[in-house]
């Protein structure tokens, strides 16, 4: 359909799962994609897959916790493709799961840095590039955890991901009048390596599936389609939202 024809998009956390599938989908829809993650071999596979399918992609390996990496991704998009229209700040980590009083300060700070500070660093460099275009779509991957559902022993993850929603709202208000939309995407349980860490046995999988009204987990490409909605003109009047794509886990009591 080419809904992103001639658009340039940065996607982090692109070496697997939601980021990987979103990069492929954006490229199929006509975007030129700059993909980032820590694992270079997986990024190379992704770029090869996109190019072999007729798309355009380039990769840069690095850590989203590093400000230099956030700047380098935008520089690469600008130098290689001429600018930036879309940024899907998707990289994140669960971090240490355990009793809150036993969590070290360094573990707390590392989770917040990975999930929240990295988003700020991404936006810090992505927004000026979008403003040069006169418009843009900035997307953060948050979660229902800490927003509609509280889960025990996940204080750092919950706080960092909930913080993304506050960041989304502030940036949406700050830059909406300048043509840039900012939204948060909140997936439910998804069949990724991270998602499977919570559902590593048949019993655990059945429990996680049962939490959702749809009684199953999402596939990564289902979440990618919602990212496409936020990236495209289909959501042209949507900004400052926390878009739940959670299979009904937030409302389910059965």
Catalogue the active-site residues: 157
Q: Is the pLDDT of residue 1 over 90?
A: no
Question: What pTM was computed for the model?
Answer: 0.96
Q: 194 falls in which pLDDT band (50, 70, 90)? A: confident
Q: 193 falls in which pLDDT band (50, 70, 90)? A: confident
Q: Is the pLDDT of residue 13 over 90?
A: yes
Domain definitions of the chain by residue range = 8-245
Whole-number pLDDT of residue 83: 98
Question: Which CATH number is associated with domain 8-245?
Answer: 3.40.50.720
Cβ-based burial of 52 (10 A; exposed 0-12, middle 13-18, buried ≥19)? exposed
Q: Could you tell me if 40 and 60 are in contact, meaning their C-beta atoms sit under 8 angstroms apart?
A: no
Whole-number pLDDT of residue 219: 96
In tens, the pLDDT along 166-186 reads 999 999 999 999 999 999 999
Q: Could you tell me if 14 and 35 are in contact, meaning their C-beta atoms sit under 8 angstroms apart?
A: yes
Q: Is the pLDDT of residue 195 over 80?
A: no
**Average per-residue pLDDT in the chain?**
96
- Token pair of 194 as six digits: 């991270």
In tens, the pLDDT along 56-98 reads 999 999 999 999 999 999 999 999 999 999 999 999 999 999 9
Proportion of the chain above pLDDT 90, given as a percent: 92
Q: 201 falls in which pLDDT band (50, 70, 90)? A: confident
């Amino acid at each position: 359909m080419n809904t992103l024809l001639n658009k340039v998009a940065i996607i982090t956390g692109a070496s697997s799962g939601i980021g990987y599938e979103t990069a492929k989908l954006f490229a199929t829809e006509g975007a030129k994609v700059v993909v980032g993650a820590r694992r270079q071999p997986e990024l190379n596979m992704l770029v090869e897959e996109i190019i072999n399918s007729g798309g355009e992609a380039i990769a840069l390996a690095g850590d989203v916790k590093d400000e230099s990496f956030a700047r380098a991704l935008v520089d690469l998009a600008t130098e290689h493709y001429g600018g930036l229209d879309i940024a899907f700040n998707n990289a994140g980590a669960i971090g240490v799961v355990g009793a809150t009083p036993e969590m070290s300060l360094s573990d707390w700070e590392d989770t917040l840095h990975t999930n929240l500070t990295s988003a700020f660093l991404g936006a810090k460099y992505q927004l000026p590039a979008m403003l040069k275009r006169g418009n843009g779509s900035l997307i953060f991957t948050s979660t229902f955890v800490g927003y509609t559902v509280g889960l025990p022993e996940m204080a750092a993850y919950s706080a960092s991901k909930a913080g993304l929603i506050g960041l989304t709202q502030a940036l949406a208000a700050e830059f909406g009048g300048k043509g840039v939309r900012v939204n948060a995407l909140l997936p439910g349980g998804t069949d990724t390596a991270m998602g499977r860490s919570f559902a590593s046995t048949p019993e655990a999988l059945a429990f996680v599936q049962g939490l959702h009204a749809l009684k199953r987990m999402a596939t990564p490409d289902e979440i990618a389609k919602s990212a496409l909605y936020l990236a495209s003109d289909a959501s042209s009047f949507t900004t400052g939202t926390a878009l739940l794509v959670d299979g009904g886990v937030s409302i389910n009591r059965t």
